[in-house]
Amino acid sequence: MKLLYIGDVVGKSGRKAVADHLPRLQDELSPDFVVVNAENAAHGFGVTGAICESLFEMGVDVVTTGNHAWDQKEVIPYFENQPRLLRPVNYPEGTPGHGFGVYEARNGQKVCVIQAMGRLFMNPLDDPFMAVQKALLNKRIGETVDFVMIDVHAEATSEKMAMAQNFDGRATLVAGTHSHIPTADAQILDGGTAYITDVGMTGDYNSVIGMTPGPAIARFTAQVPGPRLEPATGEGTLCAVFVESDDATGKAVFVSPVRLGGRLREVMPEI
């Protein structure tokens, strides 16, 4: 099966990039399942139910988040009632919402999506490795599910890579998000797990990780409170990772970054 994962959508620019470029990707790549990280989609901070609904209407199957999951307070009841919107699985027990789920793809196969958040230089949540281990109980690719995707929302590259190596052969894809910069290390590990350290953001790259430069620079150069960060509004680049798996084993057989629009060089999978 084929899965497309679109990285951190930032503000209106990022949402427009998804709307502009997802139809082309659906036509040319024919993904069976589409996942989008939208934790910065609501003006750079969090996500709303309305934004999720618009993504679902575009053909997105699951929306993931991260450390900005709760920035829009009105979305909390939506988290409770919408299993297609995920927050990190390693939040404490009793946190609203869902950290993983099993969904049906367009081709009828079962896809397990798990979201985990790292702890290095991040909020001190529960152990993400143990939380993913628990989420994977009774889930084996090629047997009980056809595809397992783990979104690792983390600051440290080492923590993302450790997650991939730890679950190599048990997941089809381990993809990092959060740093908003696409990495060049898309690969298939020895056990058959596709991996990329960071998918990259979907937004305006004439920015500081999606935000207008002035207020962002002030945070580094001044030690006094400055203006609120605002999303950059130029043409956005859609950044994603595309994975194809073996239907018999659930392991990855192809992985490629995807970049369309905006300032970055276009990259489309050669399939």
Catalytic residue positions, numbered: 68
Give dist(CA 33, CA 56) in Å, integer: 12
Which residues on neighbouring strands pair with residue 137, listed in sequence order? none
Quote the crossing angle between the two packed helices 157-166 and 128-135, to the nearest 10°.
30
How far, in Å, CA of 124 to CA of 118, rounded?
9
Place of tokens 């470029």: 21
Residue 238 CB contacts under 8 Å (≥ 6 apart), including other chains: 6, 17, 18, 20, 21, 22, 25, 202, 258, 259, 260, 261, 262
Beta bridge partners of 10: 40
Q: Both tokens of residue 85?
A: 């919107």
Report CA torsion sign: 130, 132, 135, 139.
negative
Residue 228, classified by CB atoms within 10 Å of its CB into exposed (0-12), middle (13-18) or buried (19+), is: exposed
- Three-class secondary structure assignment of 133-162: HHHCCCCCECCCECEEEEEEECCCHHHHHH
